[in-house]
Amino acid sequence: MGKRNKNKLYNQIFEKVTISGVAAEGVAIARHDDRVIFVKYGAPGDVVDIQIKKTKRRHLEGEIINFHSKSHLRTKPFCEHFGICGGCKWQHLAYGEQLQQKQKQVTDNLQRIGKVDYEYELIPINGSSNTKFYRNKLEFTFTDKRWLSPDEISSGEEITNTEALGFHVPGFFDKVLDIKKCWLQSEPSNAIRLSIKEFALKNNISFYNFRGKTGFLRNVIIRNNEKGEFMVILVCSPGDQEKRDALLSHIRDEFPQVVSLHYMISDKKNSSVSDLDAILFDGTPYLEEKMEGLQFRVGAKSFYQTNSSQAYELYKIARDFAELTGEERVYDLYTGTGTIANFIASRAKEVVGIEYVEEAVVHARENAALNNLYNLTFVSGDMAKVLTEDFIHQHGAPDVIITDPPRAGMHPDVTQRILHSNAQRIVYVSCNPATQSRDIEMLASRYRVQKVQAVDMFPHTQHVESVVLLENKNSN
C-alpha cells in the first residue's frame, strides 16, 4: 500500500514551493508536506512549481517547470551548454553564494559527521581568482551518435550530422554532447578540439560507437600549463596508422602551442586510460609547471591539481597549517607525484612520502631530483599495509603528518596508525568534506580541530577542498 501511494506522486506537480537550500551533491533542496525534494538548477529563495520525476524512500526528485519568483542569488549562466552538459551545475548561482554554500558544506559536515564543536578557528574560504578558463586538463569523447536536443527529436527531420566531440551527458553512457565552446580551459583548447573534429570529418576518420564498440577515434585529452604550452593525447583504436599520423601531424602543424603530442592505442570496452601507454609523437614528453621556484614535470598520465593557481593557494595553506620550523620529520600520506612534499621540503628536516601508484612515486623522485631536494624519501604501496609500526620504526616517528587521501578518505587501519604515531600535528587536505569529517571523528580521542579553511578549486561546481589542522591534545 505504501509503495503504491508513493508512486502516485510520480509526475505530480507541487505549486509555489520555495527552494530552501543547496545539497552537497549540487542540487537544490525544497520541502513540501514534510517531504524533502531535490531539484536541479534551483537557487535558495526561488518560488517554483515542481514536477516529481523520481520517488525515493527518503526523498523525492523533481524538475522546476515554472517560476513564480526568482531568487536574488541567481545570475545568468554564461555557457550555452549549461543545463545539459552537467559539468558546471552552479553557473546559475552568483559566485559569492557558491563560496558561502561550499564553506557551509565543510562546517556542516564537521559538526554533523565529525562531531566537532565550534571552538576551532574558521578562516574564510579561499575563492578562485579565475572563475572561467581555470582548468589545466580536459578530456573529450568522440561518438558517431551524439545527444539530440528535444527540438531535434520532435522536428521529424532526418538528422545527418550525428558525430560529436564533447562531454558525456549525465545518465547516458553512449550519448555525448557536441561542445561548441567550453569555458573551463583557456584557448586554444576550443580551437584544438574543433579543428580535430573538422579534420576527422573531412578525411573520413570514423568516430567511436559505444554500443557497437566500433570506430577509430575515442578520446582526446588536452593539458596546458601556466606558460600557455599545451599537451594533446589522442586515444584511438588499433589500426589506421596512416589516418592517425595524419591527424596528429595536423595538430602539430596547426597549433605551435602544442609542445607535447602523444597518442594511446585502446581496444578496451571502457574509456579509462590509466593502464594505457602514452606514445610520444612529437615534442617533449611532458609539460613543466613552476611554483615558488620549484619545477614539476607533468607527463601524459601524471596527476597534477587541475586548477594550477588554486593548487598554489591550497599548498600554501597546508604549509602554513603545518607550522614547520625546519626541525620536523613530516609524513606526506597519499603523496601522488610529490607536489606537497616538494613544496614543504625546504622548511622540514625530512619528508617521507607514501603513495599507492608506483608510477607516481617515480615521478615524485624525478621532481625531487629536478629541484635538488635531498631530504625527501618516497615509498610506494597500499597505505594500510605500508604505514605500520615497523615502517615508523625504520623511518622515525613523524612530528607532522600531512594527508591528502582520495574521495573515499582513509582506511580505518590508517587512522589507527596515525593515532599511534602520536604526531604533534595533522594537516588533513580533502576533496570530500564528508569522509574527511568521518576520519576526524575517528581521530578525536587524541586530536582536536584547531583551524579550518576551505579552498575553491572548481568554480561553478559543488566541489570544494577542505584543509583542517588537528593538534595533539597532549602537546605542550
Question: Catalytic amino acids?
Answer: 431
Q: How far is CA 177 from CA 162, 169, 237, in A?
A: 10, 6, 21
Separation between Cα atoms, residue 366 and residue 368, nearest integer Å: 5
Separation between Cα atoms, residue 287 and residue 223, nearest integer Å: 8
Separation between Cα atoms, residue 263 and residue 266, nearest integer Å: 10
Residue of 230, 236, 218, 227 whose CA lies nearest to 137: 230
Three-state SS string over the chain comes to: CHHHHHHCCCCCEEEEEEEEEECCCCCEEEEECCEEEEECCCCCCCEEEEEEEEECCCCEEEEEEEEEECCCCECCCCCCCCCCCCCCCCCCECHHHHHHHHHHHHHHHHHHCCCCCCCCEEEEEECCCCCCCCECEEEEEEECCECCCHHHHHHCCCCCCCCEEEEECCCCCCCEEECCCCCCECCCHHHHHHHHHHHHHHCCCCECECCCCECCEEEEEEEECCCCCEEEEEEECCCCHHHHHHHHHHHHHHCCCEEEEEEEECCCCCCCCCCCCCEEEEECCEEEEEECCEEEEEECCCCCCCCHHHHHHHHHHHHHHHCCCCCCEEEEECCCCCHHHHHHHHHCCEEEEEECCHHHHHHHHHHHHHCCCCCEEEEECCHHHHCCHHHHHHHCCCCEEEECCCCCCCCHHHHHHHHHHCCCEEEEEECCHHHHHHHHHHCCCCEEEEEEEEECCCCCCCCCEEEEEEEECCCC
